[in-house]
């Protein structure tokens, strides 16, 4: 009997020594874009970032910090991810503020109206990507602990599936299939580059205008939002307030937006004394061409992101001292970042002009 327990203990130790490191490799292979994003973020000099951008894929592809640096000498990092829940954004912001003390946080207004929860089948994979790639282990542990409390799934399953992430895929073989396993083992391809400062650049366009004639017609109506979403936005409001950080709510250009949604976010911002900028009201001022400045229906391409970033630089420069977080070494890094990005932009522009 004694020998049996010893064998079990030895097996458990060997299992942990082999599979816990394997789990880390598994996560990095499948989520390379956001693993790189975190690595680039932690590569920034501490407290050198003036603005942190938190949100979903419209911000991820639509705001280029290098452009804003070139326009206003303001440093920034794009910490947005695809398909987030407000729950995810809260913990991403919490992690970002562990090493940076920005003057401004720009927060995605559109995710506030997300009606999905942590058990939603569409949102769950994106939630796992967000939490798996949080580099700060203390923050990640806190997030997983809370997820285990609020999820309808068992706490044991939640903790085990984050400790050994391939368990989740083994239990969901039908959703992956053999090709999914092959793609996972090959690793995710990524558009993430160091010169993007956390953002993703899309090139090309569909050539269609998805904005109908009645887009942003004025209305007195509002839309509903969930207590779940609002709770985590309130936490982000409080987090910024407690750290004396200016908070800006931002709605990126999107054909699915409406004046009813604008009214709802504006009302919440007024109640919490927060600035709200709805870029959907300024498409003509930014000279956005829906047929050429969007990569697809929802996401700006490199030309659209450049226009939005130039427009935002004027707004944000009035909220922050120019180059406040940038000493000489930081300026050199950002100047090099702009050179790299401008070459990428010019290459795309020249190809499109031919």
* Domains within the chain, CATH numbers bracketed: 21-320 (3.40.50.1110)
Res 168: pLDDT? 57
Residue 347: φ, ψ to 5° = -60, -45
Alpha helices of 219-284 — where are they, by DSSP H?
227-242, 259-271
**CA–CA gap between residue 184 and residue 180 (Å, rounded):** 6
45-74, pLDDT tens digit by residue?
A: 999 999 999 999 999 999 999 999 999 999
277 by DSSP, 3-state: which?
strand
Instruction: List Cα–Cα distances, 157 to 122, 167, 268, in angstroms.
Output: 19, 9, 36
Q: Which residues, other chains included, contact 51 with Cβ-Cβ below 8 Å and sequence gap of 6+?
A: 65, 68, 74, 75, 76, 77, 102, 103, 104, 105, 106, 316, 320
Strands 76-78 and 51-54: parallel
Q: Which residues, other chains included, contact 58 with Cβ-Cβ below 8 Å and sequence gap of 6+?
A: 108, 110, 252, 253, 254, 298, 299, 300
Res 173: pLDDT? 43
Res 171: pLDDT? 43
Provide the percentage of residues in the chain whose pLDDT is more than 70.
81
CB atoms within 10 A of CB 16: 12
**CA–CA gap between residue 251 and residue 261 (Å, rounded):** 10
CB atoms within 10 A of CB 203: 15
**CA–CA gap between residue 3 and residue 295 (Å, rounded):** 63
Here the tokens at position 283 are: 């498409």
**CA–CA gap between residue 258 and residue 98 (Å, rounded):** 35
Q: Quick one: pLDDT band at residue 176, thresholds 50, 70, 90?
A: very low
pTM: 0.88
Select the highest-mean-pLDDT range: 123-137, 157-171, 301-315.
Answer: 301-315
Q: Which residues pair with 51 in a beta bridge?
A: 76, 104
Select the highest-mean-pLDDT range: 24-28, 173-177, 347-351.
Answer: 347-351
Label residues 109-119 b or e (16+ Cβ within 10 Å = b). bbbbbbebbbe
115-147, pLDDT tens digit by residue?
A: 999 999 999 889 988 998 898 999 999 999 999
**CA–CA gap between residue 22 and residue 322 (Å, rounded):** 45
- DSSP label at residue 83: S
Strand arrangement of the beta sheet that strand 104-108 belongs to: 76-78, 51-54, 104-108, 246-251, 275-278
195 by DSSP, 3-state: which?
helix
Q: Which residues, other chains included, contact 6 with Cβ-Cβ below 8 Å and sequence gap of 6+?
A: none
Q: 23-27, 99-103, 106-110 — which is least confidently predicted?
A: 23-27
Q: Quick one: pLDDT band at residue 170, thresholds 50, 70, 90?
A: very low
CA angle 39-44-47, nearest 5°? 130
Can you tell me the mean pLDDT for 302-306?
A: 96
Res 350: pLDDT? 76
């Amino acid at each position: 009997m004694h020998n049996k327990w010893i064998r079990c203990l030895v097996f458990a130790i060997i299992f942990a020594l082999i599979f816990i490191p394997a789990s880390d490799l598994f996560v990095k292979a499948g989520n390379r874009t956001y693993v790189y994003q975190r690595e680039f973020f932690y590569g920034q000099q501490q407290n050198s970032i003036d603005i942190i951008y938190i949100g979903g894929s419209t911000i991820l592809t639509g705001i280029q910090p290098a452009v804003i640096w070139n326009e206003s000498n303001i440093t920034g990092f794009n910490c947005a991810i695809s398909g987030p829940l407000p729950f995810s954004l809260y913990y991403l912001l919490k992690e970002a503020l562990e090493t940076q003390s920005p003057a401004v946080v720009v927060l995605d207004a559109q995710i506030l109206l997300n009606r999905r929860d942590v058990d939603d089948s569409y949102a769950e994979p994106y939630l796992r990507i967000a939490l798996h790639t949080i580099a700060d282990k203390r923050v990640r542990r806190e997030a997983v602990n809370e997820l285990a409390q609020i999820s309808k799934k068992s706490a044991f399953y939640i903790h085990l599936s984050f400790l050994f992430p391939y368990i989740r895929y083994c239990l969901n073989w039908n959703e992956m299939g053999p090709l999914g396993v092959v793609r996972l083992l090959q690793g995710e391809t990524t558009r993430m580059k160091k010169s993007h400062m956390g953002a993703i650049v899309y090139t090309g366009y569909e050539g269609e205008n998805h904005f109908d004639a009645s887009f942003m017609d004025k209305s007195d109506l509002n839309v509903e939002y969930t207590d779940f979403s609002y709770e985590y936005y309130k936490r982000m409001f409080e987090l910024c307030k407690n750290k004396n950080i200016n908070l800006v709510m931002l709605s990126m250009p999107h054909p699915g937006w409406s004046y009813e949604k604008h009214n709802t976010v504006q009302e919440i911002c007024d109640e919490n004394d927060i600035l709200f900028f709805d870029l959907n009201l300024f498409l003509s001022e930014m000279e956005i061409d829906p047929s050429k400045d969007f990569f697809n229906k929802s996401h700006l391409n490199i030309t659209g992101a450049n226009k939005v970033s130039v427009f935002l630089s004027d707004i944000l420069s009035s909220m922050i001292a120019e180059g406040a977080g940038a000493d000489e070494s930081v300026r050199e890094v950002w100047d090099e970042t702009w050179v790299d990005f401008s070459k990428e932009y010019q290459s795309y522009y020249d190809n499109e002009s031919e």
